[in-house]
Structure 1
């Protein structure tokens, strides 16, 4: 059986150890001969890599482990690039969140002004990875879960139209796990869904079990009452991150707007932006939570493993929920025809919608990549929302490619999260100031 060579682009990410542990857990399904880390931040990657090398040695000593900042070394002799980069790190995410809040607008990692700012930083980084992959391993596939996935996907469609990149997001995976749990199933693998939308901007229209029984009524009854919160969580809410508890319970208000479908949780930013502003602490945003929480924990635990020379008793956790990456890699490697939600060029999957929009729909994945499953026509309400949002994403990519201030201002003005063009301009000027080393120059 062939064993695969994988490079994790974003080797210094706090998510990397969880991904490595997940890959090691799935070697029976997806055998690996080599794991490489690539990052342009040597010091940050080193701390994660030193610990991961020990983990790999202890669990699968036959796997070759390489950590490098040299693109040629990283991208030569690989089958898959697993990309999760964050250009500007959490320090820039903090600015994405706090600058809009000065103007009474929610700042969020992938939505509205924060997502647009992050997108403008991410495009160049992801294109660079594609170029390295195509230069050194032209037959490899890139599985990209770098955010903001919608803007990155549009950029790759427009600027690297023939590249072997698949854009995927873990949010629907997480919500489907909750749906399954809410009605007493053990895993999302027991449900088959129909869904359409843009990334972080979509709706489930049909959910069945593997025998074809309709599960929508049961799931809707739960969501109407509790959102996507699970009953045991509601009883023990101190164990779940407060901001996520808020997000999952908010889904019941999103559901009320269109009870024919089940909503992606990110729609809360577009339907109730003022609630999110009221809920936000401008001094301590999600980026601060992450830096004080996960980031501190992962780096100190990696340093401890390195110092002790063993990962025994580690508190690093397997990122179970990232196992969709293995499903995707397997589907390509073994032509499994797995059904997965992916971000692909529409080309008729949503019949009454822009052919060139990057939509999120179920696809059948085989060795030649994804084949979208037609979701038919969509209702006016969703279509109107999606047309506005896809225009934002396309304007951002055009602004990046053309260095156009005007188009980026238009993108911000068009975002449902921003109240008017004046506020859009004020936020934009502040964002330009702090993103000088990451964005192209805008004229």
Structure 2
């Protein structure tokens, strides 16, 4: 491919941007980038200027002939783009703090992509991704949209099914981390790619199986290494993900499943213990959002250093390592038709028999010039199938509420979410969160005005 590319990153002021830059620089032999545009909103102007200057230093140090542009004008950036990546957070980290702390006041889980917090992140994000698509239809109709804005599965489903943007792929770093952990547990160097992992399910709600180069399935061996309480590896193992406590699964349950769960399954498989841990963090003002806010402040102080022209090691503490690098790999694979095997959010098309044909699933796929070609999975055992179908129904309901602003749909989403105890008490939670996020929920404007007239208030704890 000889074409020089124009790549646009929406949410360019993110602390993850240096990893994105490193990913592009490391793939210079496969990606000839003419222009790289970093886009943000007015609230993110200062961060965009800081990280944008660092991005320019990184490009200069690499010797690449790439121009970096910083802008608050999304339309200016999108014109004639080849790829658009999204890594934005509507409402900035302050909104995440509300998502995690308000449920805590009600004795419920406060988490970025699960429970009430995850629903509200979708409510804020989905209308924005649909607005971005409207601009893309006009300004870059042939561009690919690579989304790693959470909740990635629901955002991808809204982009494809509601926005009609078929050239969308969603991305998550959890499968990347699982691949690294599997190789380590088996005593292999991950760079040798000895193991083959096959993932299927939903974003932050998938399972996977593993084979070695001899064609032997080693899933059971990995279950023993990770979850058998007598395993030396399990005793020494640290948390898989920075934002999820490493509380042990019930070994017999995972063994019976015969599949490796993702770290987020802890919220569903060992709900009480995870809730207790989450509520203690709430009481101590150590929610993940508050921790990340402090980490980000440190990172941006580092980024201000005019001598810093490489990704600092401290970025790994941010909790989203590998997202940006994986996004670069997807872009390179599409652009060069490399047919790299990756796990992404894409249309089901019968891959998972237990879910609607046209829904979005997170599944191992080959990334081609025409997009993701998923590997067939088939069906799940009943214990997983029931949960998976409930979660997909919840996602579909959340998307509908996010698009329409229908209060009844929002209540329905809260009611069927497994991590939200239904009842009048949690309707109060829903109402307070609507009022708390009113600046970023225009679709719920009439409902919020009625709630405020009834005396509903957001009370910061």
TM-score, normalised relative to structure 1: 0.90
- 2: CA distance, partners of 1:343 / 1:242: 19
- Does residue 246 of the first structure (1) align with residue 260 of the second (2)? no
Q: Give 1:414's aligned residue.
A: 416
Residue 81 (structure 1) aligns with: 84
- Does residue 126 (structure 1) correspond to residue 129 (structure 2)? The answer is yes
Q: Secondary structure at the match of 1:190?
A: coil
Q: Could you tell me how far 1:231 is from its partner in structure 2?
A: 7.0
1:198 corresponds, among 194, 199, 202, to: 202
DSSP-derived class of the 2:113 partner: coil
Match of 1:104 in 2: 107
244 and 43 in structure 1: CA distance in 2 versus 1, 3 angstrom threshold:
closer
**Counterpart pick for 2:217 among 214, 218, 225:** 214
1:183-222 CA-to-partner distances (Å, cap 9, x unmatched) read 1121174322222211111111x31134423222321221
Give 1:33's aligned residue. 34
**TM-score, L = length of structure 2:** 0.87
Q: Does 1:296 align with 2:294?
A: no
1:234-274 CA-to-partner distances (Å, cap 9, x unmatched) read: 5xx6xx89955733x53565963744111011011122232
1:402 deviates by 2.0
Partners of 1:226 and 1:77 lie apart in 2 by 55
Change beyond 3 A, Cα 1:328–1:232? farther
Aligned partners of 2:8 and 2:84 also within 8 Å: yes
Cα distance per residue 1:281-312 (max 9 Å; x no partner): 1122001101112x01221011122xx5x537
Q: Distance in 2 between matches of 1:343 and 1:417?
A: 23
After superposition, the Cα gap between the structure-2 partners of 1:168 and 1:230, relative to the gap in structure 1 and judged at 3 Å, is: farther
Q: 2: CA distance between counterparts of 1:110 and 1:45?
A: 25
2:172 counterpart SS class: coil
Structure 2: distance between partners of 1:169 and 1:226: 29
Distance in 1 (CA, whole Å) between partners of 2:21 and 2:67 is 13
Q: Classify the secondary structure of the residue corresponding to 2:438.
A: coil
User: Retained in 1: the 8 A contact 2:339–2:368?
Assistant: yes
Partners in 2 of 1:300 and 1:397 — Cα distance?
Answer: 37
Q: Provide closer, same or farther for how the CA distance between residues 139 and 316 of structure 1 changes in structure 2, counting only shifts above 3 A.
A: farther
SS at match of 1:197: strand
Residue 315 of structure 1, CA deviation: 5.5
Which residue, 258, 261, 269 being the options, matches 1:263? 261
Matched residues in 2 for 1:406 and 1:375: separation?
35
- The correspondence for 2:336, drawn from 331, 334, 337, is 334
Distance 2:145 2:125 in 1: 15
> Which consecutive unaligned segments of at least 5 residues does structure 1 have?
none
**How far off is 1:65 after superposition?**
1.1
Secondary structure, counterpart of 2:138 in structure 1: helix
Sort the Cα spacing of 1:110 and 1:126 in 2 relative to 1 into closer, same or farther, 3 A.
same
**C-alpha separation between the residues in 2 aligned to 1:9 and 1:427?**
31
Corresponding residue pairs, total: 433
Provide the C-alpha distance between the structure 2 equivalents of 1:301 and 1:121, rounded to a whole number of angstroms: 30
Alignment of 1:7-406 (within 5 A): 7-40=8-41, 41-187=44-190, 189-204=193-208, 206-225=209-228, 234=237, 244=243, 246-247=245-246, 249-251=247-249, 256=254, 258-280=256-278, 281-282=281-282, 283-293=285-295, 295-305=296-306, 311=309, 322-406=324-408
* CA distance in 1 between partners of 2:339 and 2:188 (Å): 23
Q: Verify the 8 A CA contact 2:78 2:139 in the aligned structure 1.
A: yes
Contact 2:9 2:85 (C-alpha < 8 Å) held by counterparts: yes
Aligned partners of 1:255 and 1:262 also within 8 Å: no
Cα distance in 2 for residues equivalent to 1:113 and 1:102: 12
Taking a change above 3 Å as real, the CA distance of residues 121 and 230 of structure 1, as seen in their structure-2 partners, is: farther
Are the aligned partners of 1:409 and 1:424 in contact in 2 as well (CA < 8 Å)? no
Q: Is the 8 A contact 1:223 1:252 kept in 2?
A: no
Q: Distance in 2 between matches of 1:177 and 1:423?
A: 42
Q: Is the 8 A contact 1:254 1:263 kept in 2?
A: no
Contact 2:15 2:300 in 1 (8 A): yes
Cα offset for 1:374? 1.7
Question: What is the SS of the residue equivalent to 1:7?
Answer: strand
Distance apart, 1:413 and its partner CA:
1.0
1:68 CA drift (Å) = 0.9
| SS, match of residue 428 in structure 1 | helix
